[in-house]
């Protein structure tokens, strides 16, 4: 399976990423071996994830999520937005 996730950094910012193992990836972020963005913003906390059967679907969705405003990401995290497949 392929996952897209959003973590909240210690400074309150969000980071969106792709992985095949969310638990491992969050641990990597918190050990400082994840993305450069999160290294100085530890610890991070998993706030949201979606699962896809193909890497291309997950990568496409990762791009979409990265384009969202902070407000829209907060809505998604708080489940106020429903996702409909195209």
45: closest CA among 32, 30, 35? 30
pLDDT band at 83 (very low <50, low <70, confident <90, very high): low
* pLDDT value, residue 41: 96
pLDDT single digits (tens) 38-66? 999 999 999 999 999 999 999 999 999 99
- Rounded Cα distance, 52 and 62, in Å: 11
Instruction: Please state the domain extents for the chain.
Output: 2-77
Given this structure, which CATH class describes domain 2-77? alpha beta
């Amino acid at each position: 399976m392929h996952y897209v996730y959003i973590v909240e950094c210690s400074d309150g910012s969000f980071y969106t990423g792709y992985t095949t193992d969310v638990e491992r990836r969050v641990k990597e972020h918190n050990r400082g071996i994840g993305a450069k963005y999160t290294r100085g913003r530890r610890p991070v906390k998993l706030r949201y994830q979606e699962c896809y059967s193909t890497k291309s679907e997950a990568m496409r969705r990762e791009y979409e999520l990265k384009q969202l405003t902070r407000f829209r990401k907060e809505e998604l995290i708080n489940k106020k937005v429903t996702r409909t497949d195209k």
